Amino acid sequence: MTNIINCFTFIGNVVSCKEFGSGHINTTMKIVTDTGHAYILQKINHTVFKQPVQVMENAVAVTEHLRKKDSNPRHTLRFLKTKSGDYCLQDPNGNYWRMYEFIPGLALDAPERLEDLYAAGLGFGRFQQMLLDFPVQTLHETIPHFHNTPNRYTQLEQAVQADRLNRVKEVHPQLEWLMEQKPLASSLLENKALPLRVTHNDTKLNNVLLDTETHAPLCVLDLDTVMPGLSAYDFGDAIRFGAAAYGEDAPENHMDFTLFTQYAKGFLEAAPNLTEDEIQALPMGAFLMTLEVGVRFLTDYLDGDQYFRIAYPTQNLDRANNQLMLAKDIKEKLPEMAQIIQTLR
């Protein structure tokens, strides 16, 4: 660890290096030096992110663009270079590492108060607004087809055909409803009026750092999945996660209009220059992102739980049922969601 740390250009001498955070993908450590400076050191999971150098090229390009518009050091991650001038270090074992300045604040897994969702909406909306003029075609697609819902359906159909664990017989009602929704799966991807944007693609509440005292949004975190995409998908995934009445493992779920309104209010306030077509697509983004996650959980259950970590044998099936229940509820509420968005504007 000492050899890896000393490959980066930071201020002072290291006095502590401890595991940090609750992430499940990358290995994360907080480093403190004798000058009082603090940094985050991460080992990038190159099983999930097969092109770590491209991941870092995307993250650095986006953060440099953001810093030109907002020089506040608490509002944008700043990555450190290695002594050889790179932003990504490969060690002798083939692992990839990066370091960035630590920004103190709150990363909440669940809102402590209603205003936290409004703050998350502000944070991700500001991220979207400040990157509207970014040359999105210069970004790498680090995880191909990540939010390609029709492709997720193809993977589900392949899992049904293979039926490795003889589980298909358990999920006929779920499959029947999902096939009814399949014509909607490509509705946003095929909408040529929707511009390609810089999207975060993991818009959970804990990826917006909040001020410890005021809970105001500071900085968007976890830029590994920054890629070209649709603004409706970022909005939709935030609603799927933040406006759901219950978590993914609960036996039931539905969308809470109060939570939806809080997030939408912040997002629209901070991103006033989205096109009219993008605004109209936001509710459908919430439905499709929830549908897509439900498809992914069900696919993994049929495949033998190879992707999502489980604590008991039917957890991915329970998660799939939870997300499909939420998707059904969101679909029924699409007209009201659209009205709320127009009212907020």
Q: Indicate the burial class of 106 (C-beta count within 10 angstroms; 0-12, 13-18, 19 or more).
A: middle
What is the model's pLDDT at position 2? 86
What confidence category does residue 22 fall into, taking pLDDT thresholds of 50, 70 and 90? Answer: low
pLDDT tops 60 at residue 23: no
What is the model's pLDDT at position 67? 97
User: For residue 336, what is the enclosing H or E element?
Assistant: helix 334-344
Could you tell me if 232 and 146 lie in one domain? yes
What is the model's pLDDT at position 45? 83
What is the model's pLDDT at position 1? 81
Query: Residue 142 is part of a domain; what is its CATH number?
Result: 3.90.1200.10
Could you tell me if 130 and 73 lie in one domain? no
Domain count, the chain: 2
Examine residue 109 and state whether it is found in any structural domain, yes or no. Answer: no
Could you tell me if 300 and 236 lie in one domain? yes
Could you tell me if 90 and 128 lie in one domain? no
In which domain, by residue range, is 75 found?
Answer: 2-101
| Residue range 24-65, pLDDT digits in tens | 556 889 999 999 999 999 999 887 788 999 999 999 999 999
Q: What is the CA radius of gyration of the chain?
A: 21
Query: Residue 90 is part of a domain; what is its CATH number?
Result: 3.30.200.20
pLDDT tops 60 at residue 287: yes
Q: Cα(38)–Cα(36) distance, rounded to whole angstroms? A: 6
Could you tell me if 311 and 174 lie in one domain? yes
Could you tell me if 279 and 140 lie in one domain? yes
Greater pLDDT, 138 or 307: 138
Could you tell me if 133 and 82 lie in one domain? no
Greater pLDDT, 61 or 19: 61
Examine residue 182 and state whether it is found in any structural domain, yes or no. Answer: yes
Contacts of 109 (CB under 8 A, 6+ apart): 22, 205, 206
Of 54, 79, 101, the last residue of a domain is 101
Predicted structure pTM score: 0.93
Which DSSP category does 75 fall into? S
Could you tell me if 269 and 304 lie in one domain? yes
| Residue range 178-193, pLDDT digits in tens | 999 999 999 999 999 9
Examine residue 189 and state whether it is found in any structural domain, yes or no. Answer: yes
Examine residue 110 and state whether it is found in any structural domain, yes or no. Answer: no
Examine residue 54 and state whether it is found in any structural domain, yes or no. Answer: yes
Of 101, 124, 150, the last residue of a domain is 101
Of 101, 131, 162, the last residue of a domain is 101
Across all residues in the chain, what is the average pLDDT?
95
Examine residue 272 and state whether it is found in any structural domain, yes or no. Answer: yes
Examine residue 47 and state whether it is found in any structural domain, yes or no. Answer: yes
